[in-house]
Amino acid sequence: MRSLYTIAAIVFATTNVTAKTEVEKSVSGRLELGSSVVYAGIVNLPAEGLWQTRDQGKTDSVREVYLVPSSPWNARQLGKRVYAALEKEAIQSGGWHLQEGYHPCKEFALEGVRRGPSSMKELAVFEESKERSRAWTQIHQRARNLTDLFDKNIEGPVIHLIPDVKFELVKQPLRPDEIERAKNGYRAPVRWSVPKEKRRLLAFEIRPVVDDGKHWVLYTDGFSERVLIDNELLKKTGQTISPLINKQERKVANERKTIPYQVIALTDDRLAQTLNIKIHNHILNETQKITWSLHTEKHELHNPRETIMKARLTSWGPYLQQGAGHVLRHWSGHANVGVANARRGRTTSAFSVLGGRAAVEETLQMQVLNTNQSPTEALSTGNAAIEINSVTGVQVRSHPFKKMLGGQRGGQLELANYTPHDRFFVYLGKPATLERMLDAGAPFIASVGSAFTGNSLNYGLERRYLNRLGMQREQLHTILKSGLVQEMALFCPDLFFIDGTDLTVIAKVEQPRLLNGLFKLLNPQGQLSDAIMEMPGANSSAYVALRGNLLFLATNRSELEQSLKLQANDGKNSLGQSDEFRYMLTKLGITDKTRGYAYFSDPFVRRLVGPKVKIGQLRRILAKRQMEGLTARGMLARIDDPEATLNIERLRASGYVPKDWHSQEYDLDETGIVHSKAYGTLNEMRTLIGSPVETITTKEAQAYAEYLRNYSNYWRRFFDPIAIRLNESAPQQLEVSTFILPLVDNTIYNSLRMALETDRTADALAVPEIKPTPVVKLSLNLSEVTWQNIAETFSDLFTRYTGTNAAVLDDLGPSMHLAIFDSDPIIALGSGDVFGAFGSSMSGMNTDMAMIPIALSMFTRPCSIFIETRNPARTAQLLRQAATAFDAKQNANDEFQAQIFQVGDEQKWVWMLDIMGMVKLRYGVEIVDDYIVVRNIPWSTKEKIIKVESAELNAASLLVNPGACLEQLPGLFAAASDANSRVAMSGLGRLMPFMVGKNISVEEAMKEHQRLLGFFPKTVLGDQLAWQHQRLISADYGEPLRQRQPAFDPQKPFGLMNQIDFLRLEMQFEDDGLRSSIRWRLRQPNE
């Protein structure tokens, strides 16, 4: 069925037709698995709108009932005009179809005796020998699109080839340019053609699209035309014409009063009873009852499983189209759609570029290796095994940190002395504030992450890792509240927290005498000693050790042993003692305001992109994909027969799993959980350290080599670390600082580095405070190179269309500021929220392209550009001169006409550009203090500069003030509702398979989702989901076929930005690296 036509062209009209409401032509068939029976029948219903089941009758034995409109329903909903357009395209496609087979026939003649093939079979053999697809074996897709509307099963042949037609081929003369090129030795290709006067009929349609007395014919000169059907030709060739769509079908295509619907039901067993099914048409707002006698004398439904699945997918299709739902994708055969989408290019936004997120992603390169491996293919395939240690990783030298320290000691952090150098390290200062951060600041950070990544899934990471350590949140609360823990740190061997990694925690206790009490709290049965002890109560093995006033807690014994060894050796060869870490602490140090400090060391990044981790994660992801597929297939089998005892062999025997599925690695237990011998379960997958890679296949080696080749292109000179610090700079005010050294070569930052000032220049970024407060203010400190490029590129254009002396460009700089004020724009850029263009994702684009939405803001919102001028008086003089001397006619052309004039005697001007007489752009220009102010609304002159302050970082600054939003609140609400709707629809698609055929609540379905797959979808705050009429529906956002959004209420807070008072981002380039800072203040409840 064509969903585009189904949804887009429904006729909203009523009908007085009374349709038969009895189900007819009922048949039934038993599923191979268990005793479940599928019933199918036909009922005729009014053609307008769409009918859906609402109540399947009062019986517990009927688990599912579906109404599936037949294909003529689609034709009925198109309307006469759209149908006529589709029919015209389908008819035209007949000529294209014939021409697709012309070149093989001509080539056959050229290679033979100047005659075409003797039969379709001979043509097919010739095409196969040339490794080409067969042109005339099926109808054209445009014709099929039309015939599908009538539920027709088209049988061939559709074209008749006249055998052994002679091609009167003549060599074509050389073209004039070929004659000239031939003088220099060029050998032109030989081209053959058939003159029109010598052409013969080669082939013709015998299954034209419509029955109007015409069909397409093809000649040996390659031309086709639609002509009247020649009966003498048919008699001579022994052919008959059979149109795909007859006259009667064309006549009633848009005039049917009733449409046949197929009624499909799944029951526990054969039932000899009558169902009274309530159906509803939400377009007509009508409800009817249909009766269905399930007593079938002939049990002739040949493929009951295929029948019920087609009915299900018709109902589930709209949920699948929302792009969510691992289970639905597996059930529908589209399991790899998300995988293909994940391999697309990077998405870049101005906010992620300026904030450093794009640089972190570019450094870590977390994408999965691409092996193009099938979901049913065994994990270990390929040629002979290759030793993993023989595979070379990234070969790039590190910075000379010892030399860079210059004999100085550098920064110090004790807990880093107990961390291996090649581990991801996180330091938590003042752990007593950690819980408050988790309850207040962390949700906002998580919300920001969800906004940028689109991730709306709850993996329960806090609970999962506390459980793995043998702790509960209540115990953590007690420990932190007691004040015993002075500082904490943790380290991990990789960043795969969702799939599973190992975690080691180091806690420094302030009062050693209370260590015993603390240990007893964690492990009531333990003894205070120097041994490594196993924690009771953990989901898997967890280990604890005490050394002086240090408490070590780990999920992996070998990781803990490494840490203890470093502690025993006073940190020798640790992260904390490395020249690299000590140097980076001088660049981004830890203060008394620091609440968190994350560090990606050089050896850690090398480990992360090395063959062991990359190939290990590839194997685990492939295993995870296969486990999800088996889980989904097991769920489907359980829906078909709730009482069945399942295993993989039975799933394969019953057709739920492909015959070639490699099952030796997996088991399916009686609760539906899939177990992998190598990786455990989806809810608790083993870590990469727990599943080490020792040998790899040729395919894996090739995939890593390709990754390495692409990755190495980024690194020409050095390969270095990343530091991220979280400070609580004031109560309820947080700041994230990032320092990356160096930025990679060929980076998206290259052009930005050239355009902006660096830390080596003397010019600070002077940022004006503007009233009224803009919603968003972007400040850039442009380098002298950039200003020179502006002069070289735009000087002629500047002079021609403004009349201003180009010498004014000498006064400008270094800073430029774009202020976007409150408004309700007609066109919403990017996400449409308060970030607007700054949050726009530009897939695969460079930095310049990422800035395009910012420039477009000048056309969609009230904006002012403040350009710093070193000589305001001279700038004003040159602008006055331009308004006096500029001759618009002299400097204009036919397409563009410009004009500039002064407003009265004020230091204000208006510049107008007339584009082809169709568009007029007017910009106001004014000198305000040390700035030229350019406004896209020239009569708006209310902005004032209150003061000018230097930014802490000197390249760029972005300030967001959500409190300044008043007029655009409805627009922001619409943007927030769009995002919430995507979350809601995604959740419906993921949860619906867990509700089908069951009598459980939505909360129970979420728990089952978590139990089987290891996560569950988030719901929008305040929204409620309900299972009604075999469909999962959101109270606020509807369902895929009937989506809605809540009405705007100015009294109700909404969206991400409602949580903050302001957000300020600053960045600068230094030491070949990038430093950025993002500071925000959380809004208080009474504000």
Q: What is the pLDDT of residues 736-766, one digit of tens each?
A: 999 987 655 545 667 777 778 776 666 789 9
Q: 330 with 633: CB under 8 angstroms?
A: yes
User: Is pLDDT above 70 for 136?
Assistant: yes
pLDDT at 176 > cutoff 50: yes
Q: What is the pLDDT of residues 190-235, one digit of tens each?
A: 899 999 999 999 999 999 999 999 999 999 999 999 999 999 999 9
Highest mean pLDDT among 342-346, 366-370, 923-927, 970-974: 923-927
CA 121 – CA 1079 distance, rounded (Å): 73
Overall average pLDDT of the 109-124 stretch: 93
Helix axis angle for 611-640 and 698-712, nearest 10°, is 120
Got the DSSP string for 88-123? Answer: HHHHHHHHHHHHHTHHHHHHHHHHTTSB--SSHHHH
397 and 447 assigned to the same domain: no
Q: Which of 202, 226, 252 is the last residue before a domain boundary? A: 252
Confidence check: pLDDT of 101 > 80: yes
Task: Please identify, among 713, 748, 783, the residue that sits at the C-terminal boundary of a domain.
Answer: 748
CA–CA distance from 14 to each of 83, 173, 260, 491 (Å)?
A: 20, 66, 18, 66
Residues 316 and 223 in one domain: no
Measure the CA dihedral 177/181/182/186, to 10°: -120
Q: Which residue has the higher pLDDT, 349 or 403?
A: 403
Residue 247 sits in the same domain as residue 364:
no
Q: What is the pLDDT of residue 343?
A: 40
**Residue 595 counted as domain residue:** no
Residues 6+ apart with CB under 8 A from 517: none
Co-location of 48 and 138 in the same domain: no
* Residue 33 CA from chain centroid, whole number: 37
**Domain count of the fold of the chain:** 5
**773-798 tens-digit pLDDT:** 998 899 999 988 888 888 887 777 66
**Pick from 905, 866, 914, 858: nearest CA to 883:** 905
Domain end, chosen from 252, 280, 298, is at 252
Asked, for residue 50, whether it belongs to a domain, the answer is yes
User: Is the bond into 742 cis (omega within 30 degrees of 0)?
Assistant: yes
The whole-number pLDDT of residue 718 equals 60
Same-domain check for residues 307 and 259:
yes
578-621 pLDDT per residue, tens: 999 999 999 999 998 999 999 999 999 889 889 999 999 999 99
Share of residues in the chain with pLDDT > 90 (%): 38
pLDDT digits (tens, 9 = 90+) for 183-194: 888 888 889 999
User: Which range, 382-396, 501-515, 820-834, 982-996, is most confident?
Assistant: 982-996
Arithmetic mean of pLDDT, 339-356: 50
| Residues 426 and 555 occupy one common structural domain | yes
Type and span of the H or E element at 784: helix 784-802
Mean pLDDT of the chain: 82
Q: Say if 134 falls within a structural domain.
A: yes
Helix residue spans in 158-241 (DSSP H): 176-182, 231-237
State the pLDDT confidence band at 1034, using cuts at 50, 70 and 90: very high
Q: What is the pLDDT of residue 1007?
A: 95
pLDDT above 80 for 292 = yes
Residue 953 lies in a domain: no
| 142 and 218 together in one domain | yes
pLDDT at 540: 73
CB 829 within 8 A of CB 860: yes
My answer on whether 115 and 244 are in the same domain is yes
* pLDDT at residue 847, as a whole number: 45
Nearest partner of 1019 among 610, 450, 503, 505, judged by Cα: 450
Which of 435-439, 483-487, 497-501 ranks highest by mean pLDDT?
A: 497-501
Q: Is 633 exposed, middle or buried (0-12, 13-18, 19+ CB in 10 A)?
A: buried
Residues 511 and 421 in one domain: yes
pLDDT by residue (tens digit) across 792-846?
877 776 667 766 777 888 889 899 999 988 887 655 554 445 554 444 444 444 4
pLDDT at position 993 is 92
In angstroms, the first-to-last Cα distance of the chain is: 53
Return d(Cα 75, Cα 9) in angstroms, integer: 10
What pLDDT sits at residue 579?
95
Whether residue 682 sits in one domain with residue 634:
yes
What is residue 636's three-state secondary structure?
helix
Q: Average pLDDT of 172-187? A: 86
Report the half-sphere exposure of 367 (CA within 13 A, side-chain side). Answer: 23
What pLDDT score was predicted for residue 153?
77
How many C-beta atoms surround the C-beta of residue 180 within 10 A? 11
Query: Tens digits of per-residue pLDDT, 507-537?
Result: 988 776 666 665 666 555 555 556 788 876 6
Separation of alpha carbons 509 and 486, rounded Å: 5
pLDDT band at 353 (very low <50, low <70, confident <90, very high): low
Please say if the pLDDT value at position 433 is more than 80: no
DSSP letter string, 324-371: --HHHHHHHT-TTHHHHHHTSPPEE-HHHHHHTHHHHHHHH--PPP--
Residue 372 dihedral angles phi and psi, to the nearest 5°:
55, 40
What was the pLDDT predicted at 382?
47
Residue 522: CB atoms within 10 A of its CB come to: 20
- What gap in Å lies between CA 508 and CA 490, rounded to an integer? 12
Q: Are 479 and 516 contained in the same domain?
A: yes
Strands 159-161 and 201-205: antiparallel
Residue 1038 has pLDDT above 80, yes or no: yes
Q: What is the 3-state secondary structure (H, E, C) of 427-486?
A: EEECHHHHHHHHHHHHHHHHHHHHHHHCCCEECCHHHHHHHHCCCCHHHHHHHHHHCCEE
| Weakest mean pLDDT among 268-277, 695-704, 903-912 | 903-912
Instruction: Return phi, psi of residue 820, to 5°.
Output: -105, 125
Q: Which residue has the tokens 């529908």?
A: 332
Q: How confident is the model at residue 448 (pLDDT cuts 50, 70, 90)?
A: low
Does residue 610 lie in a domain region?
A: yes
- Return the DSSP state at 514: G
Is 821 within a domain? no
Average pLDDT, stretch 359-376? 61
Query: Which structural domain range is residue 312 located in?
Result: 3-76+254-321
Within a domain: residue 14? yes
Distance CA 747, CA 755 (A): 14
Taking each helix axis from N to C terminus, what angle separates 473-482 and 461-468, rounded to the nearest 10 degrees?
80
Task: Compare 437 and 482 and report the one with higher pLDDT.
Answer: 482
Q: Are residues 537 and 680 in the same domain?
A: no
Query: What is the number of H-type helices and E-type strands within the chain?
Result: 33, 46
**Tokens at 996, concatenated:** 């089908």
With respect to residue 786, please indicate whether it lies within any of the assigned structural domains: no
What pLDDT, on a 0 to 100 scale, did the predictor assign at position 859? Answer: 62
* The two three-digit tokens of residue 994, written as one number: 């867990």
Higher pLDDT, 1085 or 1083: 1083
CA-closest candidate to residue 39, choices 301, 315, 313: 301
Mean predicted confidence (pLDDT) in 94-102 = 93
How far is Cα 422 from Cα 603, in angstroms, rounded to an integer? 5
| Predicted pLDDT at 607 | 92
By mean pLDDT, which of 142-151, 194-203, 608-617, 945-954 is the weakest?
A: 142-151
Which residues partner with 533 through β-bridges? 544
**Is 50 exceeded by the pLDDT of residue 262?**
yes
| CATH number reported for the structural domain that contains residue 34 in this entry | 2.60.40
